[in-house]
Chains A and B, each alone.
Chain A
């Protein structure tokens, strides 16, 4: 699944480790999310959406729309 995590993170000048701390996951999880190697659970997707103040579908794209 594609996502805009890297862009949103860069806009805030956060490192992967900074974002990992804010989401309480490992830095490797952030890297796997950004590179599309891992799709987050629904709770984590909501947490990401709340952190960036955007709806989930504005961050994640399943390619179906």
Chain B
């Protein structure tokens, strides 16, 4: 396989993945729409950051599930990792790929849990809030462990992309945070909650890491 093979444009695998993504995303959107329409989910109390976090969570969950399921088939995993190659993924690669899928799916669940709990139970009983929080902490510890494993097993370019994404996010967001905080202090901007800030951080990180990945040839 050569570089020119990578420049041929959309491969059938890429198109199939895009189609699968549209089907999963469309299905998820339809299901949520049905829930809202029939009163199963009341979004009237949800703020912009709840909706944004829910959207990001759904994307992470869908992608994580897709990657995780694909990792159980060496040939499909090989094509997803490298659409230009028809070599099946090796066992170590499928495990690595599965770990990345689980990390994404866990991030989606953790992001969705507080929003879902508030939307499904209003008012939220304290005991239930504590139970949800305990679950989130447990998932967070598990995800941190998996993230460290992914970092240790990644090659140097992937590590550099992760580190660069973190650096870019820090410099962009600390500047934005300072300007917003100054404006807020001067009563020129509304106050933001910790959840608002976390949602912005997640969104910016996903955009930055995606851009850096594409620039390095991942797509």
Q: Which residue of A lies closest to B158 (CB)?
A: A26
CB distance from B99 to the nearest CB of A (A): 15
Tell me the complex Cα distance, A35–B2, Å: 11
* Size bin of chain A's contact surface: 10 to 19
User: B157 touches which one: A15, A24, A29, A35 (CB < 8 A)?
Assistant: A29
- CB pair A31 B156 closer than 8 Å: no
- CB pair A34 B3 closer than 8 Å: yes
B185 at the interface (CB under 8 A from A): no
Number of A-B contacts (CB under 8 A): 49
Q: Which residue of A lies closest to B96 (CB)?
A: A26
Q: Which residue of A lies closest to B215 (CB)?
A: A37
B82 at the interface (CB under 8 A from A): yes
B218 at the interface (CB under 8 A from A): yes
A-contact bits for B1-35, CB 8 A (1 contact / 0 none): 11100100000000000000000000000000000
B85 at the interface (CB under 8 A from A): yes
Interface residue ranges of B65-99 to A (CB < 8 Å) = 81-82, 85, 87
Residues of A close to B6: CB separation below 8 A: 31
B-contact bits for A11-38, CB 8 A (1 contact / 0 none): 0000111000000111111011011011
- CB pair B155 A29 closer than 8 Å: yes
Give A residues with C-beta under 8 Å from B. Answer: 6, 15-17, 24-29, 31-32, 34-35, 37-38, 40-41, 44
Give B residues with C-beta under 8 Å from A. Answer: 1-3, 6, 81-82, 85, 87, 155-158, 160, 215-218
